[in-house]
Chain A
Amino acid sequence: MSKQKVVVVGNGMVGHKFIDNLINHDQADQYEVITFSEEPRLAYDRVQLSAYFSGSTADDLMLTSGQYYEENGVKYVLNEKVVGIDKAENKVITASGREEAYDKLVLATGSFPFVPPIPGKDQPHCLVYRTIEDLEAITASASESKVGVVVGGGLLGLEAANALKNLGLEVHVVEFAPRLMAVQLDEGGGQLLRQKIESLGVHVQTEKNTKEIVAGEALRYSMNFADGTHLETDMILFSAGIRPQDELARQFDLDIGERGGITVNNFCQTSTNNIYAIGECALWNNRIYGLVAPGYTMAKVAVSHITGGDESFTGADMSTKLKLLGVDVASVGDAQGRTPGCLSYVYQDGVAQVYKRIVVSEDKTRLLGAVLVGDVDAYGTLQQMCVNGMDLPENPEALILPALDGAASAGMGVDALPEAAVICSCNDVSKGQICCAVQEGATTIGAIKSATKAGTSCGGCVALATQVMNSELEKLGVEVNTDLCEHFAFTRQELYHLVRVERIQSFDELLAKHGKGLGCDICKPTAASILASCWNDYVLKDEHAPLQDTNDYFMANMQKNGTYSIVPRVAGGEITPDKLIAIGQVAKTYNLYTKITGGQRIDLFGAQQHELPLIWKELIDAGFETGHAYGKSVRTVKSCVGSTWCRYGMLDSVGMAIRIEDRYKGLRAPHKLKFAVSGCTRECAEAQSKDIGVIATENGWSLYVCGNGGMKPRHADLFATGLNDEMLIKYIDRLLMFYVRTADRLQRTSVWMDNLEGGLDYLKSVVIDDKLHIAEELEQEMQHVVGTYQCEWKTTIEDPEKLKRFRTFINSDEKDTTIKFVEERAQIRPATDEDMVKFVDATEPAIA
């Protein structure tokens, strides 16, 4: 049987989702797919478009790649607009005259931004916000503008306003309706949102009808409003809604709705049976869905229908939860209360600037909708209650009243949700799928994420997904044993709290009060790390010494043959010629293998136990200090040369790297920590693969957090932008101390954040918004560590008693004869069993 040919017009998020679903279908081999994109690239994440302004590149936003398509046999043509459909011959015609026959045609042409017909709208610096090319134009325009106006105070408009603000412009939002986000919010919510946004320095004008755009006096343009007032600006961004891109369908006689949109049935078929329309160009039941999740559902339905399945589209939930200009906003179901007979409960807190409203059915048994501004914690519960038609509790107001005196929140609990309830709408993951993953062994939210993809897109559902997981674990009777080891029935986090709260100063005290047995190589180093994080004592103090792993005990990294490597601190990777010579001299004297590390430092290998103090004496005399390469602690801050030398550098990346490294050196943490500072978005220091990454922009520092290289690489997440030096340090202080306080043993920052309920947003709320009111405390704790720093090696070589510990044998000055080196590429390396050929006597220095 020959393959059926499917032509997909448009390769946006929904078009790509369709293709992705089809090529992953059981019957994928029966289809041949070709897609045409008018844009110069394949599908990218338009929802995250504004991330482009904070350092993400077009590549970061890509949802797929040419390679992926090629591997799966999908043909694609970029920069090619389909201009004709021949329904009789079943073929499409492109602008360049190419003809492509189809068995099934899928229109995923999306939408275009609506620009009101205002005279003067077509001048330069009057732009829209939709594609990456639009963003490039906006950035270019912003660079020669001081003031920007966004026309439209809806979702996209506010996002555009945020983008302009990040570009450093004075921003005005002009809205035709009496309030912001008129579609999603009611009047109370809209008003509070306006107050919050205005307090951030964005000017808002509502009920403004722009009559014309003419040349301005002080600035480039003047916008003249129907009420006789005017506003001067340098650039204008239109964000007044979207219109379905239905031109092709319209021209070739598919049914179109009265106000636009390609009419489709429950299977996403248009008026012509073998032509489908999905996403924002499709009109279902007289509605256009301008969100990506319903578009994804349509893509799934269309694939199902084409492959002979029976899924159907039955409408979609338009609930949304967003952070607009830093303000939390959510809207669920019938937020405006338009259902006849409906009733409302409103909670308003003028002090905390919180507004919540729920709309319930006349008989008070069903939740119809909700509006949340300023505090959106209840979103997950409310959205699920609404979508699944669950019974309301007896006192519905409890759903939005704050929990006082530690009372449990009035949420319904996830047990009440049906199996089919969609928990993650971005990735279409149901409660049942999460429960299944738990039954198959996923017991952390990180594992749930990798098993189901839930929570991996916008992250808004992580809290709810965690509740589902925990409830399922409980049902399975799985007692997740979080004991650190057989000696302590506590997690690292709990031990940390015990140490802090009871001011415990030693392992013996901790063991006597809270543990049993003698301890082991798990709990001892953990306790040592906690004690060091809290009190920052000298690690080789008699009571702490037996707790240390050999690396910490000898303050060097043990290598495979029992010798050690040494890494002096080279803060920010900046080193003087004299210091380079000193390191070279030491390496030569002790015949050490030298290598530049991945973190821009110099590693000296092959030192024996008894040589460590001798080597360090020389290094300290040359001005070095320990680099903590051995500790679960801050290792290195990589940097590029930044504005000092580089023609592209925006800020002094070396200076900042040194400042950060000097501040956090010696901090003991649950896992080793790596930082980097890049002087511009070219990112030569690769800061986005670090626990803490800092990238200079023309508006200040961007802070990226919780990335890692290593075994399972993970890009860091953008945490904050436009920071000055002081704010940057404050945020890093808080974040690191919060990590030290709450992470598990040997838990990297990336895994730690994935497992935090609420993820990145929660972390931001703690670090930036100080939701827990601990910011000051965290800063003080960090200040204590910074203030009590000592070079452990310096302290050690000054103490003759401590130096005795480095002797190889307690009863002899003989050398360890098990250590053998051979030469390779003009340096030593440990001898393997195979090459017992030419030994370099490890005891003889290479030069006298």
Chain B
Amino acid sequence: MSDSNKNWVPVCDAAELQPLLGVRALLENEQVAIFRVQDQLYALNAIDPFSNAAVLSRGIVGSLKDQIVVASPLYKQHFNLATGVCLEDDTVSVKTYAVREEGGKIQLATN
């Protein structure tokens, strides 16, 4: 499905999303963590599957083995921001979302 067919929901002004600092948005009833790293946008479910707490937007962002990752602030597992896959246990992953910057706004897709 191309971008134009998606249902894009504006979340915040682009200026409110600072590089490397995650924010949390509510998309329908889901909590989504959004990051900007090296001018790339990433969005994944904010709930850490190891603790069931909504903490992933509050993790430190960085790179590990050439992957862009966020470290969960609770038990420190790393999640690939592009795929949602956990580096320490690849049977575990978190849902990712389509995200883009459009007209000065950060937008998430609902489907």
Is B92 engaged at the interface, CB distance under 8 Å to the other chain? no
How far does the alpha carbon of A809 sit from the alpha carbon of B18 in the complex, in Å?
Answer: 15
Please name all residues of chain B whose beta carbon is closer than 8 Å to the beta carbon of A348 when the two chains form the complex.
none
Please name all residues of chain A whose beta carbon is closer than 8 Å to the beta carbon of B24 when the two chains form the complex.
808-810
- Contact between A520 and B63 (Cβ–Cβ < 8 Å)? yes
Please name all residues of chain B whose beta carbon is closer than 8 Å to the beta carbon of A808 when the two chains form the complex.
24
Is A550 engaged at the interface, CB distance under 8 Å to the other chain? yes
Is B37 engaged at the interface, CB distance under 8 Å to the other chain? yes
Please name all residues of chain A whose beta carbon is closer than 8 Å to the beta carbon of B10 when the two chains form the complex.
811
Q: Closest A-chain residue to B70, C-beta based?
A: A521
What 0/1 readout, one digit per residue, does chain A (532-564) give for beta carbons within 8 Å of chain B? 000000000010011111110110001011100
How far does the alpha carbon of A487 sit from the alpha carbon of B63 in the complex, in Å?
Answer: 9
Distance between A736 CB and nearest chain B CB, rounded to angstroms: 26
Please name all residues of chain A whose beta carbon is closer than 8 Å to the beta carbon of B78 when the two chains form the complex.
521
Is A814 engaged at the interface, CB distance under 8 Å to the other chain? yes
Which one, A525, A558, A819, contacts B74 given CB within 8 A?
A558
How many residue pairs link A and B with beta carbons under 8 A? The number is 97
Is B47 engaged at the interface, CB distance under 8 Å to the other chain? yes
- Contact between B63 and A814 (Cβ–Cβ < 8 Å)? no
Please name all residues of chain B whose beta carbon is closer than 8 Å to the beta carbon of A525 when the two chains form the complex.
60
Distance between A543 CB and nearest chain B CB, rounded to angstroms: 10
Which one, B20, B25, B26, B74, contacts A560 given CB within 8 A?
B74
Distance between A606 CB and nearest chain B CB, rounded to angstroms: 13
- Contact between A550 and B55 (Cβ–Cβ < 8 Å)? yes
How far does the alpha carbon of A561 sit from the alpha carbon of B51 in the complex, in Å?
Answer: 7
What 0/1 readout, one digit per residue, does chain B (66-79) give for beta carbons within 8 Å of chain A? 00110101101010
Please name all residues of chain A whose beta carbon is closer than 8 Å to the beta carbon of B31 when the two chains form the complex.
809, 816, 818
Task: Knowing A520-B63, A524-B62, A550-B58, say if A810 contacts B25 (CB, 8 Å).
Answer: yes
Please name all residues of chain B whose beta carbon is closer than 8 Å to the beta carbon of A811 when the two chains form the complex.
10-12, 25-26
Please name all residues of chain A whose beta carbon is closer than 8 Å to the beta carbon of B55 when the two chains form the complex.
550, 558, 562
Distance between B47 CB and nearest chain A CB, rounded to angstroms: 7
Which one, A518, A523, A549, A819, contacts B68 given CB within 8 A?
A518
Is B21 engaged at the interface, CB distance under 8 Å to the other chain? yes
How far does the alpha carbon of A550 sit from the alpha carbon of B55 in the complex, in Å?
Answer: 9
What 0/1 readout, one digit per residue, does chain B (1-12) give for beta carbons within 8 Å of chain A? 000000000111
- 17 A-B contacts (beta carbon < 8 Å): A486-B65, A517-B62, A518-B37, A518-B68, A519-B63, A520-B71, A521-B62, A521-B71, A521-B76, A548-B60, A550-B59, A558-B58, A562-B51, A562-B58, A804-B16, A809-B31, A818-B52
Apart from A560-B51, A561-B51, A810-B16: 12 A-B pairs, beta carbons within 8 A: A518-B37, A518-B62, A520-B71, A521-B60, A521-B62, A524-B62, A549-B60, A549-B73, A558-B55, A560-B53, A808-B24, A809-B31
Please name all residues of chain A whose beta carbon is closer than 8 Å to the beta carbon of B11 when the two chains form the complex.
810-811
Is A27 engaged at the interface, CB distance under 8 Å to the other chain? no
Please name all residues of chain B whose beta carbon is closer than 8 Å to the beta carbon of A810 when the two chains form the complex.
11-12, 16-17, 23-25, 34
Please name all residues of chain A whose beta carbon is closer than 8 Å to the beta carbon of B12 when the two chains form the complex.
810-811
- Contact between B21 and A545 (Cβ–Cβ < 8 Å)? yes
Q: Which of A546, A553, A558, A812 has the most CB of B within 10 A?
A: A546
Task: Knowing A812-B26, A818-B54, say if A520 contacts B62 (CB, 8 Å).
Answer: yes
Please name all residues of chain A whose beta carbon is closer than 8 Å to the beta carbon of B21 when the two chains form the complex.
545-546, 805
Please name all residues of chain A whose beta carbon is closer than 8 Å to the beta carbon of B62 when the two chains form the complex.
487, 517-521, 523-524
Distance between B18 CB and nearest chain A CB, rounded to angstroms: 7
Distance between B70 CB and nearest chain A CB, rounded to angstroms: 9
Q: Closest A-chain residue to B27, C-beta based?
A: A811
Q: Across the A-B interface, give the 4 residue pairs with the lowest CB-CB distance, nearest first.
A: A562-B53, A520-B62, A521-B71, A550-B73
Is B111 engaged at the interface, CB distance under 8 Å to the other chain? no
Please name all residues of chain B whose beta carbon is closer than 8 Å to the beta carbon of A518 when the two chains form the complex.
37-38, 61-63, 68
Please name all residues of chain B whose beta carbon is closer than 8 Å to the beta carbon of A812 when the two chains form the complex.
25-26
Distance between B5 CB and nearest chain A CB, rounded to angstroms: 23
- Contact between B18 and A542 (Cβ–Cβ < 8 Å)? yes
How far does the alpha carbon of A811 sit from the alpha carbon of B73 in the complex, in Å?
Answer: 22
Q: Closest A-chain residue to B23, C-beta based?
A: A810
Q: Closest B-chain residue to A550, C-beta based?
A: B73
Please name all residues of chain A whose beta carbon is closer than 8 Å to the beta carbon of B73 when the two chains form the complex.
549-551, 558
- Contact between B60 and A547 (Cβ–Cβ < 8 Å)? yes
Q: Which of A520, A521, A542, A548 has the most CB of B within 10 A?
A: A521
Task: Knowing A518-B37, A550-B73, A811-B11, say if A486 contacts B64 (CB, 8 Å).
Answer: yes
- Contact between A517 and B71 (Cβ–Cβ < 8 Å)? no
Please name all residues of chain A whose beta carbon is closer than 8 Å to the beta carbon of B18 when the two chains form the complex.
542, 545-546
Q: Which of B31, B65, B69 has the most CB of A within 10 A?
A: B31
How far does the alpha carbon of A601 sit from the alpha carbon of B77 in the complex, in Å?
Answer: 31
Q: Closest B-chain residue to A813, C-beta based?
A: B26
How far does the alpha carbon of A822 sit from the alpha carbon of B52 in the complex, in Å?
Answer: 17
Please name all residues of chain B whose beta carbon is closer than 8 Å to the beta carbon of A519 when the two chains form the complex.
62-63
- Contact between A554 and B16 (Cβ–Cβ < 8 Å)? no
Please name all residues of chain A whose beta carbon is closer than 8 Å to the beta carbon of B54 when the two chains form the complex.
562, 816, 818-819
Please name all residues of chain B whose beta carbon is closer than 8 Å to the beta carbon of A542 when the two chains form the complex.
18
Please name all residues of chain B whose beta carbon is closer than 8 Å to the beta carbon of A487 when the two chains form the complex.
62-63
Distance between A712 CB and nearest chain B CB, rounded to angstroms: 21
- Contact between A553 and B58 (Cβ–Cβ < 8 Å)? yes
- Contact between B19 and A546 (Cβ–Cβ < 8 Å)? yes
How far does the alpha carbon of A697 sit from the alpha carbon of B64 in the complex, in Å?
Answer: 53
Please name all residues of chain A whose beta carbon is closer than 8 Å to the beta carbon of B74 when the two chains form the complex.
558, 560, 562
Task: Knowing A542-B18, A545-B21, A561-B53, say if A814 contacts B60 (CB, 8 Å).
Answer: no
Please name all residues of chain B whose beta carbon is closer than 8 Å to the beta carbon of A804 when the two chains form the complex.
16
Q: Closest A-chain residue to B53, C-beta based?
A: A562
Please name all residues of chain B whose beta carbon is closer than 8 Å to the beta carbon of A553 when the two chains form the complex.
58
User: Which residues 11-52 in B have Cβ within 8 Å of A in the complex?
Assistant: 11-12, 16-21, 23-26, 31, 34, 37-38, 47, 51-52
User: Which residues 338-356 in A have Cβ within 8 Å of B in the complex?
Assistant: none
Q: Closest B-chain residue to A520, C-beta based?
A: B62
Task: Knowing A520-B60, A549-B73, A553-B58, say if A818 contacts B68 (CB, 8 Å).
Answer: no
What 0/1 readout, one digit per residue, does chain A (795-819) give for beta carbons within 8 Å of chain B? 0000000001100111110101011
How far does the alpha carbon of A808 sit from the alpha carbon of B25 in the complex, in Å?
Answer: 8
How far does the alpha carbon of A140 sit from the alpha carbon of B69 in the complex, in Å?
Answer: 67
What 0/1 readout, one digit per residue, does chain A (500-534) give for beta carbons within 8 Å of chain B? 00000000000000000111110111000000000
Q: Closest A-chain residue to B17, C-beta based?
A: A810
- Contact between B71 and A814 (Cβ–Cβ < 8 Å)? no
Please name all residues of chain B whose beta carbon is closer than 8 Å to the beta carbon of A816 when the two chains form the complex.
31, 54
- Contact between A809 and B19 (Cβ–Cβ < 8 Å)? no
How far does the alpha carbon of A456 sit from the alpha carbon of B8 in the complex, in Å?
Answer: 66
What 0/1 readout, one digit per residue, does chain A (470-511) give for beta carbons within 8 Å of chain B? 000000000000000011000000000000000000000000
Please name all residues of chain A whose beta carbon is closer than 8 Å to the beta carbon of B61 when the two chains form the complex.
518, 546
Distance between B67 CB and nearest chain A CB, rounded to angstroms: 10
Q: Closest A-chain residue to B62, C-beta based?
A: A520
How far does the alpha carbon of A562 sit from the alpha carbon of B53 in the complex, in Å?
Answer: 5
Task: Knowing A521-B76, A542-B18, A560-B51, say if A809 contacts B25 (CB, 8 Å).
Answer: yes
- Contact between A814 and B26 (Cβ–Cβ < 8 Å)? yes
Distance between A620 CB and nearest chain B CB, rounded to angstroms: 23
Q: Closest B-chain residue to A542, C-beta based?
A: B18
Distance between B74 CB and nearest chain A CB, rounded to angstroms: 7
Distance between A298 CB and nearest chain B CB, rounded to angstroms: 53
Q: Closest B-chain residue to A507, C-beta based?
A: B20
Q: Closest B-chain residue to A546, C-beta based?
A: B20
How far does the alpha carbon of A804 sit from the alpha carbon of B65 in the complex, in Å?
Answer: 33
Q: Closest A-chain residue to B12, C-beta based?
A: A810
